[in-house]
């Protein structure tokens, strides 16, 4: 049996980004409220899991290696904002007047966050690689946690654990 190929942390995160971008594109084309709800729920699940593995594994690794503190703090705050919208979307019906707007705003927030992580000059992923993080070890931890979280969150309620900034604010949803 061949050895299991190690998962690169950044490749895993980028694959998540592409998946969510595709789901948002499908949502924009959807007309039926049932289809919209299904797609929005999938987006919310994917984003919850993605944010959690970043907050539990990737961001602490970046911070330990001295990756730009301001950039890391901004990422935490962006996660907080996304979590507020995710909670709103999950408890709202597609028939609600603001449902599509909430999904659209979440999509725009995620586009900005992805740009900060992987596309902008001096992005987080480049800084993480340059800092010498062990992307294979982080990737393995993230892949294992992702598998557990998807199994756990797929079947029921999805609590939003606080990010570092939410612990000290009134935003904790």
Residue 88 has pLDDT above 80, yes or no: yes
Residue 164 has pLDDT above 80, yes or no: no
Q: What is the pLDDT of residue 119?
A: 85
DSSP secondary structure, 76-129, as one string: HHHHHHHHHHHHHHHTS-TTSTTHHHHHHHHHHHHHHHHIIIIISTT-HHHHHH
Q: Which residue has the tokens 């990422």?
A: 75
Average pLDDT over residues 55-62: 96
Range list of H helices, 5-68: 9-29, 33-53, 59-64
Please tell me the distance from the alpha carbon of residue 55 to that of residue 76, in angstroms, as a whole number.
Answer: 8
Q: What angle do CA 39, 112, 35 make, to 5 degrees?
A: 10
pTM: 0.86
């Amino acid at each position: 049996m061949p050895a299991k190929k190690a998962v690169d942390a950044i490749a895993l995160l980028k694959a998540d980004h592409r998946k969510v971008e595709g789901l948002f594109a499908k949502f924009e084309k959807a007309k039926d409220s049932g289809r919209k709800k299904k797609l929005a729920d999938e987006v919310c699940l994917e984003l919850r899991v993605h944010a959690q593995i970043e907050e539990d594994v990737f961001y602490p690794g970046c911070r330990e290696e001295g990756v730009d503190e301001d950039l890391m703090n901004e990422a935490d705050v962006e996660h907080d904002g996304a979590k507020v919208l995710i909670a709103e979307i999950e408890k709202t019906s597609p028939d609600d007047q603001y449902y599509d707007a909430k999904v659209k705003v979440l999509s725009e927030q995620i586009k900005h966050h992805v740009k900060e992580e992987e596309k902008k000059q001096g992005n987080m992923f480049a800084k993480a690689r340059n800092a010498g993080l062990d992307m294979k070890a982080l990737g393995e931890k993230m892949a294992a946690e992702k598998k557990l979280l998807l199994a756990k969150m797929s079947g029921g309620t999805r609590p939003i654990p606080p990010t570092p900034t939410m612990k000290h604010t009134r935003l904790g949803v």
